[in-house]
């Protein structure tokens, strides 16, 4: 039984309403964040897409070596096998989700298109069928496409009607799509792609800056538990979507806080020589770290700048490499903070004063 079709009787408890208030409070800062990042937002999106591709590959459990995966995520190249074809097809669909989400129509054909594109090499992407029977009717076969058509038509009317809160509506549509299981295989992954697209469509840009699929990976057990609650007795209309709604509300709040810190780091980078800003981060990282850790914290800083900073720190005896290549690790061998604390406090005050104005 579709949750999108039961919105008139669906009630939100007080904690979810408070969670929505927090989410929209953070959402109101998005314009400011985009203004601060400015033209470098493309670098942030590129970095997020790389993390999305790597994390989605992990979710799918595709057998692609880390080095090969890193190259596929960053460059255009010929795939060697079906797993690599799937990575590149997801990269293609992810680009469309990032760039063309506003044009998405609630159409079965559109969902079928990106499902087929991504999974055509590793799964049966045809629509599923289900058999029904009762004491008063002979057994019949129902194409799941018809069920999906009905839910999407209802969702389209509700979205355009502006009567219900769109974030909750998007999450309930995610629950419906997941449980309908419209395709023969891989519905659970297409459900995540659909939700990512819907979040962008209704104006939540968190996952331009923070990887959507990495968040799912890092919180997978909690996500899986909430998904089970949203699926159990779904056909009877007795499933519990609220744990999943709470999960994604918390995801939006947590990623909003991460973005706020990224913006602060970006402002700091603009005020200070980037090499020394990277050095400051090195002192805050675990003793053993990778270049990728610096890229995540400073998406607007180029690889060449990161490399130069690490070379300088190595020459100064602050760090030393533990291996070679893209995935090599580094060890910090000095723990002293070279920065003048008073200068750092003054700089933070300047930035806060600038923001206040």
Mean pLDDT of the chain: 87
The pLDDT of residue 272 is above 70: no
DSSP track, 136-157? TEEEEEEEHHHHHHHHHHHHHH
Query: Which H helix or E strand runs over 320?
Result: strand 319-322
pLDDT of residue 161: 86
Number of C-beta neighbours around residue 9 at 10 A: 7
Rounded Cα distance between 177 and 194, Å, is: 9
User: Residue 99 phi/psi, 5° resolution?
Assistant: -100, -25
Domains observed in the chain: 4-12+39-250 (1.10.3290.10), 272-356 (1.10.10.10)
| Residues in a beta bridge with 303 | none
Averaging pLDDT over each range in 101-115, 243-257, 259-273, which range is the top one? 243-257
Q: How far is CA 325 from CA 87, 290, 313, 333, in A?
A: 22, 11, 18, 20
The answer to whether residue 255 scores a pLDDT higher than 60 is yes
What pLDDT shows up at residue 131? Answer: 67
Mean predicted confidence (pLDDT) in 107-134 = 89
The HSE-up count of residue 156 (CA atoms within 13 Å, CB side) is: 11
pLDDT class of 215 with cuts at 50, 70, 90: very high
Residue 142, beta-bridge partner list: 130
Question: What is the per-residue burial (b if ≥16 Cβ within 10 Å, else e) of 299-330?
Answer: bbbeeebbeebbeebeeeebbeeeeeeeeeeb
Q: Supply 259's token pair.
A: 């973005």
pLDDT at residue 326 tops 70: no
Secondary structure of 221-252 as H, E, C letters: HHHHHHHHHHHCCCCCCCCCCHHHHHHHHHHH
Q: What is the mean pLDDT of residues 213-217?
A: 97
Cβ atoms of 198 and 152 closer than 8 Å: no
Compute the C-alpha angle 42/288/59, nearest 5°.
55
**pTM of the model as a whole:** 0.79
Q: Report the C-alpha gap between 178 and 221 in whole angstroms.
A: 17
Q: Encode pLDDT of 41-63 as tens digits.
A: 898 999 999 999 999 999 999 99
Q: How do residues 74-97 score in pLDDT, each as one tens digit?
A: 998 999 999 999 999 999 999 999
251 or 33, higher pLDDT: 251
Residue 15 has pLDDT above 80, yes or no: yes
Q: Yes or no: say if 139 and 132 are a contact pair by the CB < 8 Å rule.
A: yes
Residues written for the chain: 357
Flag whether pLDDT at 338 surpasses 70.
Answer: no
Q: Name the more confident of 312 and 192.
A: 192
> Given this model, what pLDDT does residue 134 score?
52
CA distance 262 to 268: 10
Share of the chain above pLDDT 70, in %: 89
């Amino acid at each position: 039984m579709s949750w999108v079709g039961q919105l008139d009787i669906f009630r939100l408890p007080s904690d979810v309403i408070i969670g929505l208030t927090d989410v929209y409070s953070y959402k109101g800062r998005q314009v400011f964040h985009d203004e601060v990042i400015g033209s470098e937002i493309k670098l942030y999106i590129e970095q997020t897409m790389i993390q999305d591709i790597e994390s989605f590959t992990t979710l799918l459990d595709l057998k692609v070596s880390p080095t090969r995966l890193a190259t596929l995520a960053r460059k255009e190249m010929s795939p060697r096998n079906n797993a690599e074809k799937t990575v590149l097809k997801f990269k293609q669909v992810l680009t469309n989700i990032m760039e063309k989400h506003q044009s998405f129509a609630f159409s079965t054909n559109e969902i079928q298109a990106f499902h087929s594109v991504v999974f055509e090499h590793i799964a049966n992407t045809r629509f599923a069928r289900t058999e029904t029977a009762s004491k008063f009717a002979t057994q019949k076969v129902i194409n799941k496409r018809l069920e999906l058509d009905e839910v999407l038509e209802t969702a389209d009317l509700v979205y355009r009607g502006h009567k219900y809160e769109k974030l909750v509506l998007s999450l309930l549509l995610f629950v419906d799509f997941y449980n309908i299981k419209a395709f023969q295989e891989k519905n659970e992954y297409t459900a995540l792609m659909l939700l990512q697209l819907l979040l962008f469509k209704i104006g939540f840009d968190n996952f331009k800056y923070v990887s959507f699929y990495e968040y799912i990976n890092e919180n997978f057990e909690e996500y899986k538990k909430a998904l089970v609650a949203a699926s159990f007795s779904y056909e009877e209309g007795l499933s519990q979507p609220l744990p999943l709604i709470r999960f994604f509300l918390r995801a939006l709040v947590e990623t909003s806080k991460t973005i706020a810190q990224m913006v602060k780091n970006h402002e700091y980078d603009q005020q200070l020589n980037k090499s020394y800003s990277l050095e400051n981060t090195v002192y805050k990282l675990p003793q053993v770290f990778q270049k990728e850790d610096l890229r995540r914290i400073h998406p607007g800083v180029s690889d060449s700048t990161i490399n130069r900073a690490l070379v300088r720190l190595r020459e100064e005896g602050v760090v030393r490499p533990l291996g070679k290549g893209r995935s090599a690790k580094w060890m910090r061998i000095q723990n002293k903070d070279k920065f003048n604390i008073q200068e750092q406090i003054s700089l933070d005050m300047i930035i806060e004063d600038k923001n206040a104005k």
